[in-house]
């Protein structure tokens, strides 16, 4: 169960090697988390992540999970919930894709959409109804500022996050009053392996800053969290910007 400060005792991390996800897991282990399920595609990195969390004193289990294979989600995630209550689910998987390349390779673009949007829709629905049966728990979904307004340089990824963001808000409304808290997290540029080698955007931040914001959001039962918080007014302005002007921005 979560305590009065929203600190979960059990955590399911979808995208078990995500740097943001693992930074969050480490932070929550510092509070109340004692059991962590790392769900992801089997790899040495996934096993290594579990070992690192065990070294912090948590019980860490690895679960094979592929966002691109939604037919298996019900079974794979169902098994996790059958072992006991999950207090928080963190949906952190995602791919950035390669915009320039993917524009020429529709199949690759579809992979981005299938991972970030369709895979997340499936996993979030499975987890959402399991949380609803428990009558408690938080579903935290990593969206992105890229979904706020699609940019020329990044609209394949951006549109997948826009869809995920809208979907998650709707799911939050559907689960309202069912004891389930759904939270959308919209980070800006975060320095992780996903963004490695790319030019930093203004207000760039770190996985541990995102983790801190997630912990605070759990405490406040927030529905939307921006990281850093200053992005909220910035993006509000960008959303209102006329198209011709927006198009000319070096984004």
Partner 1 sequence: MAVRPAPAPASVSGWGRTAPTATRLLRPDSYEAAVAALREAAEGGRGAIARGLGRAYGDAAQNAGGAVLDMTGLDRIHEIDAVNGLVVCDAGVSLHKLMQVLLPLGWFVPVTPGTRYVTVGGAIGADIHGKNHHVSGSFSRHVRAIELLTGDGETRLVTPGDDPELFWATAGGMGLTGVILAATVELLPVETSLMRVDTERATDLDDLMARLAATDHRYRYSVAWIDLLARGARTGRAVLTRGDHAPLEALDAKARRDPLAFRPGRLPAPPRIIPEGLLNRATVGLFNELWYRRAPRESRGRLQRLPAFFHPLDGVPEWNRIYGRGGFVQYQFVVGHGQEETLRRIVRRIGACGCPSFLAVLKRFGDGDPGWLSFPLPGWTLALDIPAAMPGLGALLDELDEEVAAAGGRVYLAKDSRLRPDMLARMYPRLDDFRELRARYDPHGTLTSDLARRLAL
Which sign does the torsion angle of CA 113, 119, 122, 124 carry? negative
Q: What secondary structure does DSSP assign to 1-51, as a single string?
A: ---TT---SEEEEESTT-HHHHHHHHHHHTTT--EEEEEES--HHHHHHHH
Choose between 28 and 142: whose C-beta lies nearer to partner 1: 28
Which of positions 176-195 make contact with ligand NAP (CB under 6 A)? 187, 189-190, 192-195
Distance CA 206, CA 231 (A): 14
Specify the residue for token string 């935290």: 140
Residue 192 near which of ligand NAP, partner 1, none (CB within 5-8 Å, type-dependent)? ligand NAP
- Residue 37 annotated among the catalytic residues of the structure: no
> Which residues contact partner 1 (rule: CB under 8 A)?
1-7, 9, 31-32, 85, 132-136, 177-180, 216, 219-220
Q: Mark the segment that binds ligand NAP (CB under 6 A) among 82-90, 92-100, 129-137, 173-181.
A: 92-100
Choose between 134 and 208: whose C-beta lies nearer to ligand NAP: 208
Choose between 1 and 45: whose C-beta lies nearer to ligand NAP: 45
Cβ-based neighbour number of residue 56 at 10 Å: 13
Which of positions 128-187 make contact with ligand NAP (CB under 6 A)? 142, 144, 187
Establish whether the linkage from the previous residue to 92 is cis, with ω within 30° of 0.
no
Which of positions 52-71 make contact with ligand NAP (CB under 6 A)? 65-68
User: Would you name the residues annotated as active-site residues?
Assistant: 157
């Amino acid at each position: 169960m979560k305590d009065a400060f929203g600190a979960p005792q059990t955590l399911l991390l979808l995208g078990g090697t995500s740097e943001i996800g693992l930074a969050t897991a480490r932070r929550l282990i510092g509070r109340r988390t004692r059991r962590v399920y790392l769900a992801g595609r089997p790899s040495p990195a996934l096993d290594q992540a579990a070992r690192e969390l065990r070294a912090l004193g948590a019980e860490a289990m690895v679960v094979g999970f592929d966002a691109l294979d939604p037919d298996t989600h019900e079974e794979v995630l169902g098994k996790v919930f059958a072992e006991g209550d999950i207090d928080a689910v963190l949906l952190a998987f995602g791919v950035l894709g390669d915009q320039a390349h993917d524009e020429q390779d529709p199949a690759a673009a579809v992979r981005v959409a299938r991972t970030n949007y369709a895979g997340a829709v499936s996993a979030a629905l499975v987890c959402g109804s399991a949380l609803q049966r428990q009558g408690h728990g938080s579903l935290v979904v990593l969206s992105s500022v890229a979904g706020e307004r699609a940019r020329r340089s990044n609209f394949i990824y951006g549109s997948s996050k826009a869809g995920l963001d809208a979907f998650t808000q709707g799911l939050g409304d559907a689960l309202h009053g069912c004891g389930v808290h759904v939270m959308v997290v919209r980070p800006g540029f975060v320095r992780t392996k996903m963004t490695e080698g790319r030019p930093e955007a203004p207000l760039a931040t770190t996985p541990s800053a995102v983790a801190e914001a997630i912990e605070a959001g759990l405490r406040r039962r927030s529905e939307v969290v921006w990281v850093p918080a200053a992005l909220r007014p910035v993006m509000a302005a960008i959303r209102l910007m006329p198209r011709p002007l927006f198009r000319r921005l070096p984004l």
